Chains A and B, each alone.
Chain A
């Protein structure tokens, strides 16, 4: 039997990503608490796909995500504000191309 910790230790947090349609990327939609990956998938299915939103689910331990520091906002993101030429708005995309 496992350690006597299951009821006392808070269950780990998992980030949930769902894909709405084939061909589209998985998108972050929220998080769930669960004891392990299998249970996290089930919880994600029950909490986030109740209205037929999904064709695929990913769950990732929240602690596995390395996030940028909000304090670095200016340093990381501000410089791009003055570089409009990076936006692909100077091209016309034919309708036939669909999602890009």
Chain B
């Protein structure tokens, strides 16, 4: 095990530190952006029960984001805390996957987005729990249990929506077709992340793809939905090139902190 916290304190940021910070920020931004999207459902859920469930899922993700941001701030070592990282970075500094910033759409669309991501993140975190980086391993172990429930919840809904009425089936298939082009990005790694994976700090994303496909296919079969063919995939989120939706999301999410720095409840 490498204790990256003590190893890096006081050291000038070198390439490997920068790579680790960027990687952890990617995990953090993924969790925060999707968590924020789900929080937009609060008070608007299709039923009271699901409204609470969606808020629970949002809180899980925002909690995971806080752990990652706090860790990223520590290894970065220039005094940025979780608030500074979440609220004071601009759109192009965000490294989240494009899939996660897509608008909620209807309930089917939100559940499909969640299924696509949770089916990836659950096995990914199980692998990351074996990271040589102790902090990442701890966060992944905790987050992995939460995401296993997210996967079940989204899968059960997608099955019922897909195998429900003609209306719900049509909407769910349409959401799947629309979001499919954002799934390729989950399995992409830049050179820096590949380097971290070689050191067993990060996880080789391609390794997760067969697990993801298998669990997705199981759900889609039961939901009577068809998996879209792999076409051209949208990418760029990890490099800060986002769809037009992230700017609006950040404007709403960050406005309070930017208007009233350090505001507390």
Contacts and interface: CB of A to CB of B under 8 A. Distances in A.
Given A1-B224, A38-B156, A50-B56, A43 B166 contact: no
A7 B167 CA distance: 9
A43 B152 CA distance: 12
B164 interface: yes
B209 interface: no
B interface majority secondary structure: helix
A46 B52 contact: yes
Given A4-B166, A42-B153, A32 B49 contact: yes
A15 to B, nearest CB: 14
Interface string A52-90: 000000000000000000000000000000000000000
Given A35-B160, A50-B56, A4 B165 contact: yes
Given A4-B166, A7-B168, A39 B52 contact: no
B165 A1 contact: yes
A46 B167 contact: no
A92 B156 CA distance: 52
Given A1-B169, A1-B224, A50-B56, A43 B164 contact: no
Contacts of A34: 49
A46 B164 contact: no
Contact of B164 (A1, A11, A42, A50): A1
B interface, size bucket: 10 to 19
Contacts of A36: 160
Interface of A is mostly: loop
A6 B168 CA distance: 9
Contact of A2 (B47, B48, B163): B163
Interface string B95-131: 0000000000000000000000000000000000000
19 contacts: A2-B163, A2-B165, A4-B166, A5-B165, A6-B160, A6-B165, A6-B168, A11-B47, A33-B48, A34-B49, A35-B160, A39-B156, A39-B160, A43-B49, A46-B49, A47-B48, A47-B49, A47-B52, A47-B53
Given A5-B165, A42-B153, A46-B49, 6 more contacts: A6-B168, A33-B49, A36-B160, A39-B160, A46-B56, A47-B48
Interface of B: 47-50, 52-53, 56, 152-153, 156, 160, 163-169, 224
> What 7 pairs across the A-B complex have the smallest Cβ distances?
A43-B49, A46-B53, A4-B165, A6-B164, A32-B49, A47-B52, A46-B56
Interface of A: 1-2, 4-7, 11, 32-36, 38-39, 42-43, 46-47, 50
